[in-house]
Structure 1
Amino acid sequence: MTDSSAGWDAVADRFVALRSGIGTSAVSGWAERHIAPGATILDIGCGHGMPIAQALVDKGYRVAGVDAAPRLAAAFARRFPDMAIACEPAQTSHFLNRRHPGIIAIGFLFLLDAAEQPNMLRRMARALEPGGRLLVSVPREACVWRDTLTGRESASLGAAAYEAILEESGVQPVRWLGDEGGNAYLDAAAPV
C-alpha cells in the first residue's frame, strides 16, 4: 500500500510539536495586502492548521485545506470545524478543479519530486481566479536536501525555474518575500 502522505502521517505528532510560528506574519501580511477580507484562501499542505491557517482565520479569512496525511487533516478539521478540508494528495486535489482568489503552499512544493513540481505549480496557477494571488515558499537557490522528519529528499528548482514555470502558465511572478527565519516566498498574480 502506497503512503499518499509521503511519510508525513507517520511523523504527524513530531511535526505538530516542532512547528513554529516562523512565517506567520509574512503570510498573513501578504493576504491582507492582496486578498479581500472574508475570502477563502486555499492552503495546500495545510497540516494541522497551525500557525498559518490559524493566523489567516484570525484575520477574518476562510481557509480550505488540503493535506494527504490523515492525522494532520483530522487535526485541521477539529481546529476549524466550519472550514473545508480534503485529505488527499495535492497533486490530484479536487479543490484545484475550481478557482480561488488566493492559494498558498507553505513548506510544501519542495517536498515533491523535482519532476512533479512544475505540474503542481501549473495546476495551482490554473486554479487562480482572474487577479488571484499565489504564494509558495521555496528556497531561491537550486538545491537538494533530506527532510529532517521524514528522511525523504526535498528539492528546490531555484528562483529562475519557478518564475519561468509560472510565466509559462500565464501567471506573473511579482516579488520574493522573506521571513524572520530566512525562508523565501514567491508571490505571483494571475491576470485580471
Structure 2
Amino acid sequence: MDKSNGYEANAATFIRCRSKGLDGVGAPSVRQWAKSLPPNATVLDVGCGAGDPISKALVNAGLTVYGIDASPSMVETFKQNFPDSPVACEAAEDSSFFNRQFDAVIAWGLLFLLPVETQEVVIQKMAHALYPGGRLLFTAPSQKMEWEDAITAVPSRSLGAEKYKALLTAAGLSLVEEFEDEGENHYYHAVKH
C-alpha cells in the first residue's frame, strides 16, 4: 500500500505546483498563526512535502521545524531546502516523531487525504505530541464530503467540522478558531488543555 497516497508518483508535479515561497497559498495564514507561538517554538509539520511554502513560513518566523512525509522524493527535497530541520520519511500514523513533544503541530493539506480511521488516529497522535498549552493547526473542508484529489486522483474525505470538533475535544484540545484562507482552505486552530 502506498502510504504517500499517490504523492510519491506525483512528487515532481506537486513540488512544481506548490513551491511558491512566501506567496504560496496558506503561507500568510501560517505566518499569522506562528505569531501565537512562543519564540523558538518547536513545530512538527505533518505531511510537510518539500516544505515550501508552509515549513518555509515557519522557519522564516524563527521556529524550529521537524517534518514528516511518506514520500521519499518530498523528504529528499525537504532536506535540501532545510538542511538543519529534522525530517522523517514515514506515514503520519506511523511516525516516531510522535514519541516526543512539540510546542505546536501543523497538518496543512493532509488529513483529508487519509482514510477516516487514520484521520482519527493522527488527530489523537498530534494532540498527544503537544505540550500542555501547545497549538494544533490543520486544514480540512468544513463540509462532510468526498472528492478526487486533483493531483493523484485518489479519494479524499473530509469528516466535516462537527466531527473534527468532536475528535479535537476527545483528544483533550479546545478549538480556538476556524477560518478560511485566500485559497478557500478551512483551518481548525486548537490548543491543548
Q: CA deviation digits over 1:150-176, x for unaligned, max 9?
A: 111000000000000110111111110
Indicate whether 1:24 and 2:23 are aligned.
no
Partner residue, 2:94: 92
Indicate whether 1:5 and 2:14 are aligned.
no
Q: CA deviation digits over 1:119-145, x for unaligned, max 9?
A: 111111111101000000010000000
Give 2:179's aligned amino acid: L
Partner residue, 2:119: 117
Distance in 2 between residues matched to 1:42 and 1:153, nearest whole Å: 25
TM-score using structure 2 length: 0.95
Instruction: Report if aligned partners of 1:63, 1:83 keep a CA contact under 8 Å in 2.
Output: yes
Sequence identity percentage: 43
RMSD: 0.9
Partner residue, 1:103: 105
- Displacement of 1:3 after TM fit? 2.3
After TM superposition, where is structure 1 displaced by more than 6 Å over at least 4 residues in a row? none
Partner residue, 1:41: 43
Give 1:103's aligned amino acid: V
Partner residue, 1:166: 168
Partner residue, 2:139: 137
Distance in 1 between residues matched to 2:5 and 2:146, nearest whole Å: 17
Flag structure 2 segments of 5+ consecutive residues without an equivalent: none
Q: SS of 2:147's equivalent?
A: strand
Out of 151, 174, 188, the position equivalent to 2:153 is 151
Q: CA deviation digits over 1:55-92, x for unaligned, max 9?
A: 11111111100001000000000111111000011101
Instruction: Report if aligned partners of 1:44, 1:65 keep a CA contact under 8 Å in 2.
Output: yes
Q: SS of 1:116's equivalent?
A: helix
Distance in 1 between residues matched to 2:190 and 2:127, nearest whole Å: 9
- Displacement of 1:115 after TM fit? 2.3
Give aligned pairs, total. Answer: 189
Give 1:26's aligned amino acid: S
TM-score using structure 1 length: 0.96
Distance in 2 between residues matched to 1:119 and 1:49, nearest whole Å: 23
Give 2:34's aligned amino acid: A
- Displacement of 1:114 after TM fit? 1.6
